[in-house]
């Protein structure tokens, strides 16, 4: 939550700066008002608490009453939340709160479409590190709301030996041996490969997870059959919704898709505000 609070402060500072010259000159500081956040299209909601925290930064006594919970499917025209508090806070925080809601709900909605495509399939759909700088915790949260899972959060919580690491170390075996000698025995080791020979090298080196990168369906089938349960199999690289079922049928354990975060569009949400005492 600390990283989220920091991001909220940055977003508010970016938008309000030294002050909202429109609202501050039109609205008395003690005037209270009400707001309603409304869906302008169907989507999966995510980020309600973040939106509330935005308004709370501007008015500590704001009352936020959600009409749904994260993960719910919202229909066009439905109320998402009602807000009561100082009118300046509602007006000045509106855009920032909606930006968070629109982005996170967009990801959750996009993820849900992919998850639904894999209904009844025994495979785990995960995200990647291809996230908006500074937004990773929130975007990966939205992925979970959409029904998928998180890959590693960053470079600090999982070993993934990629092609460039192999090039630097002189091959897969040398890279895996070096990691085993230095990292904790509790840490699993994943190795990225792109050929069947590299699959064999990774397996012989003792990789716990083997990522099949940019392979054809036929290559993936052959690699999965060769691995035969001796390592967890992940497939990645140019994965689209249209090929998810085919990939799942190859027997892989994990499908990772960077597009879950980097290609999701923001959904359409609006907010209507009115003063409790008089109209501005």
Q: Are residues 175 and 70 in the same domain?
A: no
Could you tell me if 248 and 150 lie in one domain? yes
Known catalytic membership, residue 9:
no
Domain count, the chain: 2
Of the candidates 28, 40, 84, 95, the residue annotated as catalytic is 95
22 shares its domain with 137: no
Query: Residue 221 falls within a domain, yes or no?
Result: yes
Give the range of the structural domain holding residue 248, as residue numbers without chain letter. Answer: 115-262
Q: Which residue is catalytic, options 40, 162, 180, 241? A: 162
Tell me whether residue 237 is in a domain.
yes
Angle, helices 2-16/136-146, rounded to nearest 10 degrees: 110
The structure tokens listed for 212 are 């099949």
| Residue 95 falls in the annotated catalytic set | yes
Among 59, 70, 127, 192, the active-site one is 192
C-alpha 92/C-alpha 102 separation (Å) is: 17
CA 63 to chain centre: 27
Quick one: what percent of the chain has pLDDT higher than 70?
98
37-49 pLDDT per residue, tens: 999 999 999 999 9
pLDDT in tens, 14-73: 999 999 999 999 999 999 999 999 999 999 999 999 999 999 999 999 999 999 999 999
213 counts as catalytic:
yes
DSSP designation for 253? S
pLDDT-derived band at 274, boundaries 50, 70, 90? confident
248 and 140 fall within a common domain: yes
CATH number assigned to the domain comprising residue 91: 3.90.1170.20
Q: Is residue 38 part of a domain?
A: yes
Q: 90 and 217, same structural domain? A: no
Question: How far apart are alpha carbons 265 and 29 in whole angstroms?
Answer: 36
Shared domain check, 119 and 236: yes
Residue 243 within any structural domain of the chain: yes
- Claim to verify: residue 166 and residue 92 sit in the same structural domain: no
pLDDT for position 2: 72
Q: What is the CATH number of the domain that holds 204?
A: 3.20.20.70
Could you give the percent of the chain with pLDDT greater than 90? Answer: 96
Q: Which residues contact 280 (CB under 8 A, 6 or more apart)?
A: 26, 27, 87
Q: For residue 267, report the phi and psi dihedrals to the nearest 5 degrees.
A: -90, 170
- pLDDT digits over 219-240, tens only? 999 999 999 999 999 999 989 9
280 within domain boundaries:
no
Q: Output the average pLDDT for the chain.
A: 96
Q: Is residue 204 part of a domain?
A: yes
Within-domain flag for 110: no
Q: What is the pLDDT of residue 276?
A: 73
pLDDT recorded at residue 241: 95
25 occurs within a structural domain = yes
What pLDDT is attached to residue 1?
46
Please indicate, yes or no, whether residues 209 and 152 belong to a single structural domain of this protein. yes
Same domain, 88 and 207: no
Q: Annotated catalytic, 162?
A: yes
Q: Residue 88: which of 35, 37, 27 has the closest Cα?
A: 27
Mean pLDDT of 247-261: 97
Structure tokens at 76: 């066009």
Residues 252 and 141 in one domain: yes
For residue range 128-151, what is the model confidence (pLDDT) as tens digits? 999 999 999 999 999 999 999 999
Indicate whether 145 and 201 sit together in one domain: yes
72 has catalytic annotation: no
pTM of the model: 0.95
Q: Are residues 162 and 253 in the same domain?
A: yes
């Amino acid at each position: 939550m600390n990283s989220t609070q920091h991001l909220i402060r940055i977003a508010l500072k970016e938008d309000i700066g030294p002050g909202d010259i429109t609202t501050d000159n039109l609205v008395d500081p003690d005037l209270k008002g009400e707001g309603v956040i409304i869906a302008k299209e169907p989507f999966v909601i995510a980020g309600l608490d973040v939106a509330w925290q935005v308004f709370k930064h501007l008015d500590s006594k704001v009352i936020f009453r959600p009409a749904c919970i994260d993960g719910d499917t919202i229909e066009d025209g439905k109320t998402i939340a009602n807000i009561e508090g100082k009118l300046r806070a509602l007006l000045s925080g509106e855009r920032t709160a909606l930006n968070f809601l629109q982005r996170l709900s967009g990801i959750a909605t996009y993820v849900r479409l992919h998850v639904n495509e894999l209904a009844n399939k025994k495979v785990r759909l995960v995200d990647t590190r291809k996230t908006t700088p500074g937004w990773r915790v929130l975007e990966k949260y939205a992925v979970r709301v959409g029904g998928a899972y998180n890959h590693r959060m960053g470079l600090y919580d999982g070993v993934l030996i990629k092609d460039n690491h192999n090039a630097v170390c002189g091959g897969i075996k040398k890279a895996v041996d070096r990691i085993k000698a230095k990292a904790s025995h509790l840490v699993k080791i994943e190795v990225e490969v792109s050929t069947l020979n590299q699959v064999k090298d990774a397996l012989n080196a003792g990789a716990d997870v083997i990522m099949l990168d940019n392979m054809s369906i036929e290559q993936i089938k052959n690699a999965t059959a060769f691995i035969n349960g001796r390592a967890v199999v992940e497939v990645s690289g140019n994965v689209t919704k249209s090929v998810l079922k085919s990939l799942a049928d190859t027997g892989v354990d994990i499908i990772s898709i960077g597009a879950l975060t980097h290609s999701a569009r923001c959904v359409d949400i609006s907010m209507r505000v009115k003063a409790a005492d008089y109209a501005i």
